[in-house]
Amino acid sequence: MFVSIINDCADDNAKVRQELRAKVLFGELPSFIGLSSYSGLAAAGSLIDVLDTTGGEEGVVLVNVAPRHGKAKRWKNGTPFGFFYYKKTLVCATIDNETLSLAKRLGIVDKLGIFDIEEVCNFQIKNNKISPELADKIINTQFRSFEFLPRVAKWVWDGDRIPFAEEEVADIIEGGHIWWVDNFGNCKTTLTRNNVEIIDGKVKLEIGEFNFYEMLRDVPNGETAVIVGSSGLDGKKFLEIVTQGESTAKKCNLAIGLKIS
């Protein structure tokens, strides 16, 4: 099996602690994708790429984007966690922000189970899986993706009948956005070919009109263009904005979260 972590708690200290906890619980050292602070868009696209890479094989994906400020104040201690399966892969993730929007858009998930941390912990006390002292620590921690997320994923993976409520997943991404900027400055978008009109070989976005090419190799030197990128799932690949030989992010002042259509 495999374990993969997608998390906005991504400094070296937080990363190592999460990796080691996953290793102890599952016996596998996880892959780790660190996100910029509170980027639900980056989590959404990264989740799709992890599911594409692993092909629905046996494994666990742990996703966390959980701010405590702004709209997140409506939750007692951050957004709840939920779970669903993609083929043989268990996904446990925070449910707020755009985190699951692309999974919804690409038809991977419609409904998921929602955990109440206190209810789950009390259930596992009665199940003799954790002590009341550990339950109190989990319930009140500020580092839930370290104390709760990997543990509840392990319990579900092991077949424990963890209590949950069911909730529909919504795609809350309106229009197209940039969800990732790679080390070359290429900008991955939430758009697929089905979301844009290609007229006379061109794609018109809010940030400009660009020639469309199927592959990066076809883009002339120095030209900024739209191509079919490598990210996506089941043949539905996300479009990218690229500049041949240069950083599109720097040239066009683009960044994660920018709305482009």
What is the number of other CB atoms lying within 10 angstroms of the CB of residue 75?
14
Distant-in-sequence, close-in-space partners of 198: CB < 8 Å, separation ≥ 6 = 212
Q: What separation in angstroms does the CA of 166 have from each of 57, 95, 182, 202?
A: 24, 12, 36, 43
Look up the CATH number of the domain holding residue 229.
Answer: 2.40.30.90
Q: Are 12 and 31 within one domain?
A: yes
Q: Are 191 and 161 within one domain?
A: no
Q: Which of 201, 181, 193, 160 is nearest to 261 (CA)?
A: 193
Q: Are 9 and 124 within one domain?
A: yes
Q: Are 145 and 217 within one domain?
A: no
- Write down the number of H helices and E strands in the chain: 8, 14
- From first to last of its 261 residues, the chain has per-residue pLDDT tens of 999 999 999 999 999 999 999 999 999 999 999 997 658 999 999 999 999 999 999 999 999 997 545 554 565 667 899 999 999 999 999 998 899 999 999 999 999 999 999 999 999 999 999 999 999 999 999 999 999 999 999 999 999 999 999 999 999 998 999 999 999 999 999 999 999 999 999 999 999 999 999 999 999 999 999 999 999 999 999 999 999 999 999 999 999 999 999
